[in-house]
Structure 1
């Protein structure tokens, strides 16, 4: 599970099989404990949502706070950089998805 603010969203696209796909980036910041010492953590993470989650994210705007659940995987066979594949999206403010 990861929380953050949306930085940017790509255009909604479709796979050849017709599955909606949306790439986006989030900014995460939090306080974490490491070796009994508190430290500030901040990073930007690339993510991708498919199917209904892609359609849900397509209505989001940069700056919105989200909580994401999913898994990390290599971007592709050629690019081994990590990308978060999102299985669940929760908007933490506003009225997206009835919240």
Structure 2
């Protein structure tokens, strides 16, 4: 199974582009910060991850406010066939209201 759910803010967003087939692609960087307990010790987790949204969801990603926390659901894949870098492919975005998280 390849599934990722993440609370994050959109730190930066690139210009909307289109594939040769006309599919819209929105890409950018997500910023995540949280506290988790690992082996009984609380640790601060912070990271930035490359992300993209293709098709209909690209419009929501492109219009979402920068710096606002959203819940993102999707999967990880290589940036391209020859790359070892991973990109988070967004399939769902839950709104600004935390009551909406987990219900998208």
CA RMSD, Structure 1 to Structure 2 (Å):
1.1
* Distance of 1:87 and 1:60 partners within structure 2: 14
1:42 aligns to 2:62 (yes or no): no
The question of 1:30 aligning with 2:34 is answered yes
The one of 62, 73, 82 aligned to 2:86: 82
Distance 1:59 1:73 in 2: 24
> Is 1:57 matched with 2:31?
no
Counterpart for residue 18 of structure 1: 22
Q: Which runs of 5+ in 2 are unaligned?
A: 98-104
4+ long deviations beyond 2 Å: none
Q: Which whole-Å deviations, capped at 9, do the CAs of 1:5-44 have from their partners, x for residues lacking one?
A: 1110111111111111011111100011111111110000
Q: C-alpha separation between the residues in 2 aligned to 1:44 and 1:91? A: 20
TM-score (norm 1): 0.88
Distance 2:96 2:43 in 1: 24
- The alignment's TM-score, normalised by the length of structure 2, stands at 0.84
